[in-house]
Amino acid sequence: MVEAATGGKYILDIKYYPTGSLLPGPEIYDGVAAGIADAGMSSFGYTPGRFPVQLTLNQPGIAPPVSAHAAAPTAWEFYNTFKPKELDYSKVLYLHGTGPGYLHSNKPILSVEDMKGLTIRCTGGGALGVKAVGANPVAVEMAEVYTAAQKGIVDALVSPPETLEGWKHHEVFDYSVPVPEFYSEFFWYAMNWDKFNSLPGDLQDAFNAVQMDAVTEGGAIWEYIQVRGIEFAKSQPGGHQFLQLPDEEVAKLKEAVKPVRDEYVGMLNSKGFPGDELADAAGRIVEKYNKLTYKPYVP
């Protein structure tokens, strides 16, 4: 997109370091800020204490998106509305999010009661939701989930369904059930300020000009990947099973996570942030984008 915006004047030569090979997930943002990497991306949920304002979107029940399409502009508008200082240490290029989270397990989960006592891998705000239903949250990097499930270290995983294909989680879990009340994950893409400021002015302008396009396409790509992950898992030998919580259990789950909002608002207030304003805005913004229709991604 940036190259196209310059009319072909610039060609970007990018060396890509796969997950964990240059910096582990929780250290990527500060590594970019320090110049260890010129640019990088990761999820906000990997460093819950690092991004308290932006992580308002991740909290169970506060702003669950209905799709990855809706998650992306939600994250971008929330960021541009509040411009949290926690993201001032690097040049934010764009943001996007996954779609609603699923709970992947080796036993069918059809009630809130079925979740009690399970050890569940989750990230960021999802931990508060997992605790709210009487389960035990554990933080495991996505690259380690497969082995953790094989060894019985975790009983279940909260993640978007794309991990069933992308991380081969269909091989270690047999069932999936949507739990948007638990999980809304968002991702940042950022560049080191010194690197960005060293670019010619017209190239900087090109980066800025395509930000919203990147947000939109990021959401569309992730929605495509979500659906593909579901279809892939269903097609595998043995047939991965997708379940749905009954309406009464969805109501119980929503009720169980209600205290999370007050707890998170209290934490924000204690740090000097306007907790209620942030939580209210998160819900209002996601509701707006949940109602829109979106153009599907075509590879």
In tens, the pLDDT along 37-94 reads 999 999 998 887 899 999 999 999 999 999 999 999 999 999 999 999 999 999 999 9
CB neighbours of 204 closer than 8 A, spacing ≥ 6? 196, 197
Q: Report pLDDT for 124.
A: 67
The pLDDT of residue 128 is above 90: no
- Site of tokens 């169980």: 256
User: Per-residue pLDDT averaged across 101-127, rounded?
Assistant: 93
Residue 98 to residue 67: CA distance in whole angstroms: 7
Task: Give the residue from 167, 166, 159, 177 showing the smallest Cα distance to 106.
Answer: 177
Extents of the domains making up the chain: 23-290
Protein fold of 23-290: D-Maltodextrin-Binding Protein; domain 2 (3.40.190)
pTM: 0.91
Region 246-250: mean pLDDT is 97
pLDDT score of 123: 78
CB 28 within 8 A of CB 89: no
Q: Give the tens place of pLDDT for each residue, 132-182.
A: 999 999 988 888 999 999 999 999 999 999 999 999 999 999 999 999 988
pLDDT tens for each residue of 16-50: 998 789 998 889 999 999 999 999 999 998 887 89
pLDDT digits (tens, 9 = 90+) for 190-211: 999 999 999 999 999 999 999 9
